[in-house]
Structure 1
């Protein structure tokens, strides 16, 4: 007797729910790099994709440092969902399309600044855990690859040291955690402007400490651990107190995306803090889908950025297809920074190539013309 698909659905779900929790897929990396001595780095040319940097970091870094980068909130289901949400979206390739100039369409403007690709380095704290030179590798690698780097408020190096590592004309954005005391917030805003940052990336998804079990075990908890007073009125007060554009980072619902547009935010940043704050929060891809379905005009009214779980060129394309302007990557670049600027530049080059060849195979000849018609986001029970 043949069972119907509906009858089999519970079995499919149970099977996938029980599958191992993987950091990276099995693409042969263990066979090639598995014999690398602990504490040594394999040749950079052996890194063929961004997930490889996670593998290398896990075997090279001390456990507490790696755990700080890797950890997520509670049972880390949001962290896992950030990665897996992309596999629930199917691409809809077109063929017999001229894609020979796809690479020339990668350059992207972010808040009016020109960059070579539609992705950037997300703000991540404590680069010094992976490399003694801290954020210098991220700044220099971003410059060599001509992409945006958003500097963490909780960096290992001081803001002047980070600025000193810039090349002439390089644009950096500054992440900011707000203080409940506006006098302190004003000082932070003034400091960022004086330091030469081009925009403020305001973290709005960290009102309280993150419930991070993995981090607590190794004594590397949240950098920001206070209850913070923060409202839309406070956001507007900040905007009136600086010449720098302020981008709210951590939008997790269509309601807040619409509100940000209503108050005139110059851009919005879809993020769940890398799954590090609230376990059960939606992935940025799911947030982008919600906005597309319920308030698609948001993508036309303001620039929309998103990060969380992006590891492949195809992941970025799914966000770009929905209307996201530029895609952020955090952990992959922190792991790449183990190699310093050479590792960061290599990660940029890998991502650029994947975005280009995946777009070409999708039948997109001009990345600026990608649209929701290239994806299928109907429920897919095999990957629920």
Structure 2
């Protein structure tokens, strides 16, 4: 037992001693040192997704920023989501033809064509970042031809978001559900009428999130009740709608295998952005567990994952494990501070980074990516 606990003890000590960089130092503060307090940097000077976080932190009222930024407890899971990617080093291959890598970004998500293997994750309260609420997210996703998953607790209603969509735009509606069939049927009917192509059922929020930072400003969880969520409930829900139901919040290989048994079309690995329970593993670590113990899951259903994604290389590592599409949440909420143009810019940045990072790793075709481009032995010193 001691031998098992020692690495965790050492890791905890290392994390406690080492300063945490919410936004890595790439010169942002020095470059914008003369920018008046609260003023947004010019959008064309935003060069990476972490810049949107820095810009929003300087611009938004502290309560609004805190709603997006907060995590559970001491925020170790939030921190781990960001840092875990650097714990696993790339093994770049050379002498590979990578010149057509950009043409391989296109993919399908549950059969729907999209321009890249990432999407805008469900995030509530768009009005905390922009007076136009979710407008920029809807329009930006349409312009970039990527999937958007509106949150049930978005500032705009399901119906209002639907009026902003282009005719061919694909959205999946995120929902919280319980055993109240009447309320559930109303949500399903609204999602179907809005043109949503799938329902994303969040299952990792059975109880309130323990969010200390959020509690200071009164911006805690939007879903705070104890909720009955079981496999029997999922089976029952499938009889109430023709839409495919994606399960969001899967955090173990056992639950991934259960999803296969119950005929779930897609699972979404997520720890709720580190906002529900502290010490929960990152989705990358869950994907690695599935790869090691039940790799067949990746071919039995579609697997999505989010959590701390800030760079193209982060997406590449998740895709290498077998993840089909990657969710990005907070960066798009920060980008939405700039409205539609900000969301479009964030999409363009991430597309470009995925392409060049994959190419520099020796991946010529994202459809043929495999785990061998990453050393999956954790390097704790680089975390």
Q: TM-score, normalised by structure 1?
A: 0.96
| TM-fit CA distance, 1:35 | 2.5
Compared CA separation, residues 266 and 56, structure 1 to 2 (3 A): same
Match of 1:331 in 2: 330
| 2:49 pairs with 1:44 | no
- Equivalent residues of 1:12, 1:382 under 8 A apart: no
* Structure 1 residues 172-200: Cα deviation after superposition (integer angstroms, max 9, x where no partner): 11000013312211221111112211100
Deviations 1:184-239 (A, max 9, x none): 11221111112211100000000000000000000101000100011101011111
Q: Is the 8 A contact 2:246 2:264 kept in 1?
A: yes
Kept after mapping to 2: 8 A contact 1:174/1:201? yes
Unaligned runs of 5+ in 2: 1-7
Looking at structure 1, the residues matched to 275 and 216 of structure 2 have their Cα atoms a distance apart, in angstroms, of 15
Post-superposition offset of 1:285 = 0.2
Provide the C-alpha distance between the structure 2 equivalents of 1:188 and 1:168, rounded to a whole number of angstroms: 22
Identify the residue that residue 61 of structure 1 maps to in structure 2.
60
3-state SS of paired residue (1:26):
coil
Residue 34 of structure 1 deviates from its aligned partner by 2.7
User: Is 2:288 the counterpart of 1:289?
Assistant: yes
- Asked whether 1:34 is paired with 2:33, we answer yes
Are the equivalent residues in 2 in contact too, given 1:16–1:383 (CA < 8 A)?
A: no
1:122 aligns with 121
Alignment match, 1:304:
303
Taking structure 2 as the reference length, what is the TM-score of the superposition?
Answer: 0.96
CA contact (8 A) 2:67 2:214 kept: yes
Contact 2:179 2:233 in 1 (8 A): no
Q: Secondary structure at the match of 1:244?
A: coil
Unaligned runs of 5+ in 1: 1-8
The aligned counterpart of 1:251 is 250
Cα deviations by residue, 1:77-130 (Å, 9 ceiling, x for unpaired): 000000111111111110011000000000010000000000000000001100
CA displacement 1:361-382 (0-9 Å, x = unmatched): 0010001000011111113231
SS, match of residue 167 in structure 1:
coil
* Alignment partners' CA distance in 2, 1:279 and 1:16: 14
In the alignment, what sits opposite 1:197? 196
Alignment partners' CA distance in 1, 2:184 and 2:319: 33
Question: How does 1:170-189 map onto structure 2 within 5 Å?
Answer: 170-189=169-188
Cα offset, 1:13, TM superposition: 7.3
Cα distance in 1, alignment partners of residues 12 and 281 from structure 2 = 19
Distance 1:337 1:11 in 2: 39
1:16 positional shift:
4.8
Question: Matches of 1:10 and 1:252 in 2, distance apart?
Answer: 22
Q: Which residue of 1 aligns with 2:71?
A: 72
Residue of structure 2 equivalent to 1:268: 267
Equivalent pair of 2:159/2:190 in contact (CA under 8 Å): no
- Deviation, 1:14, is 4.2
Bigger mean CA deviation after superposition, 31-40 or 233-242? 31-40
The answer to whether the 8 Å contact 1:79/1:276 transfers is: yes
Q: Matches of 2:63 and 2:374 in 1, distance apart?
A: 39
- Please say which of residues 252-261 and 33-42 is displaced more in the overlay: 33-42
Q: Secondary structure at the match of 1:365?
A: coil
Q: How far apart, CA to CA, are the structure 2 residues paired with 1:177 and 1:37?
A: 41
Contact 1:120–1:329 (CA under 8 A) maintained in structure 2:
yes
The whole-number CA distance in structure 2 between the counterparts of 1:327 and 1:56 is 24
Contact 1:13 1:382 in 2 (8 A): no
Distance 1:11 1:122, change over 3 A: closer
Aligned residues: 378
Provide closer, same or farther for how the CA distance between residues 11 and 211 of structure 1 changes in structure 2, counting only shifts above 3 A.
closer
Give the Cα–Cα distance (whole angstroms) in 1 for the partners of residues 353 and 299 of structure 2: 26
RMSD over aligned Cα atoms: 1.6
Q: Which residue of 1 aligns with 2:5?
A: none
TM-superposition CA deviations, 1:61-84 (whole Å, max 9, x none): 000000000000010000000011
